């Protein structure tokens, strides 16, 4: 079995942050989202991974991820010149996939577990496709499945006006080689893309067995700012372990689970976890509240921050309250007036804001 991870696209819902970087590399709890996907695949013993990249962000993904050796896998990069849909991505990876079954993982999706049980279920029952589903409050915004009591998929509809269920497709799929036959039959949708829902529906029309697994854990599609902050908070809540590798002075207080990287310095500050702080970062005379991730080489001086993601090499000075914010790399936010208000920001790389 092989795997492909879709890491193309332009990340329009996360602009301006993604004007200068790939959305799959935005950090959640100080680790790129894409790394969680690779780790989940490597844990089930899959050694060959193809990462679908786009011309806009492909080189950055290559430079960040490398050849896969850090996870004990081999990574091959596959260029998708145009964003032609998920089924088009599979078509693009046809030579890499050969005639093997494979996992397809969307590189901006996170789930609250590994994928072992799903791969084992697929290998045991040998369907032509296994899809993951999750109950959602707004099914008309997703691809939606109608399933039997036994979990067999009866019908799939992309963003229906009248959904047949509240079961949305999660961005993790497992396919047999028969999916290629289905993709060869389908036509582009109204938006000009080869839809994976149409391909799976074609498998059903061909009489193939398509099974489902309804998730009982969290699933997060990190396509927008609020989704990113929710993902960050969830991962910190569920997975963060306290670990102090930096220097914390006697006037500072650490409350709850806090992880501090090497070379970081905490002076005269309060850190209330869950919080993760990267390497060579300075926190001085500040309050860092729950569900905050702070990257490497960051400076936070006389400021208050909570429920935010602050990426590498950014700086905050004299900011009374920053909350629910997603801050890119090399951003500088400094106080420039005597009247303070709470800030809610989404800033791209290299920004400077005076407030």
The whole-number pLDDT of residue 293 equals 97
Looking at CATH, the fold of the domain delimited by 240-354 is given as: UDP N-Acetylglucosamine Acyltransferase; domain 1 (2.160.10)
Which among 160, 101, 185, 168 is positioned nearest to 133, based on CA atoms?
Answer: 168
Tell me which residues of the chain have a pLDDT lower than 70: 9-21, 223, 336-343, 346, 348-352, 354-355
Domain boundaries, the chain: 2-224, 240-354
Tell me how many degrees the CA angle 106-111-114 measures, rounded to the nearest 5: 100
Distance CA 143, CA 167 (A): 8
Are 281 and 299 within 8 A, CB to CB? yes
pLDDT per residue over 22-60, tens digit each?
778 889 999 999 999 999 999 999 999 999 998 888 999
Q: What pLDDT score does 11 carry?
A: 47
DSSP string for residues in 210-276: EEEEE--S-EEE--SHHHHHHHHHHHHHHH---EE-SEE-TT-EEESSEEE-TT-EEES-EEESSEE
Q: What is the pLDDT of residue 24?
A: 85
Q: What is the dihedral of CA 282, 24, 103, 182, to 10 degrees?
A: 170
Tens digit of each residue's pLDDT (9 = 90 or more) over 251-264: 999 999 999 999 99
Report how far residue 126's alpha carbon sits from residue 115's, in angstroms, rounded to the nearest whole number.
Answer: 16
Q: Model pTM greater than 0.85? A: yes
Architecture of domain 2-224: Alpha-Beta Complex (3.90)
């Amino acid at each position: 079995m092989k795997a492909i991870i879709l890491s193309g696209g332009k990340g329009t819902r996360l602009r301006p942050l993604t004007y200068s970087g790939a959305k799959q590399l935005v950090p959640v709890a100080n680790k790129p989202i894409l790394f969680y996907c690779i780790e989940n695949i490597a844990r089930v013993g899959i050694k060959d991974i193809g990462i679908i990249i786009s011309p806009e962000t492909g080189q950055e993904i290559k430079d960040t991820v490398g050849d896969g050796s850090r996870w004990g896998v081999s990574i091959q990069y596959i260029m998708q010149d145009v964003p032609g849909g998920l089924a088009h991505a599979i078509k693009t990876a046809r030579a890499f996939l050969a005639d093997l079954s494979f996992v397809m993982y969307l590189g901006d999706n996170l789930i609250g577990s590994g994928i072992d049980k799903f791969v084992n279920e697929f290998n045991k029952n040998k369907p032509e496709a296994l899809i993951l589903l999750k109950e959602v409050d707004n099914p008309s915004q997703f691809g939606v499945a109608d399933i039997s009591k036994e979990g067999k998929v009866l019908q799939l509809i992309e963003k229906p006006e009248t959904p047949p269920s509240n079961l949305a497709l999660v961005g993790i799929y497992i396919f047999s080689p028969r999916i290629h036959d289905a993709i060869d039959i389908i036509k582009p949708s109204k938006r000009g893309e080869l839809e994976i829902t149409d391909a799976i529906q074609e498998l059903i029309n061909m009489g193939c067995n398509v099974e489902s697994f309804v998730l009982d854990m969290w699933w997060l599609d990190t396509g927008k700012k609020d989704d990113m902050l929710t993902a960050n908070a969830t991962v910190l809540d569920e997975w963060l372990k306290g670990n102090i590798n930096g220097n914390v002075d006697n006037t500072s207080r650490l409350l709850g689970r806090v992880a501090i990287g090497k070379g970081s310095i905490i002076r005269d500050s309060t850190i209330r976890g869950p919080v993760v702080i990267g390497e060579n970062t300075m926190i001085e005379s500040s309050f860092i509240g729950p569900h905050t991730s702070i990257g490497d080489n960051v400076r936070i001086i006389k400021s208050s921050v909570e429920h935010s993601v602050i990426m590498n090499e950014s700086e905050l000075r004299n900011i009374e309250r920053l909350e629910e914010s997603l801050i890119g790399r090399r951003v500088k936010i400094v106080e420039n007036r005597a009247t303070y208000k709470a800030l809610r920001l989404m800033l791209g790389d290299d920004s400077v804001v005076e407030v």
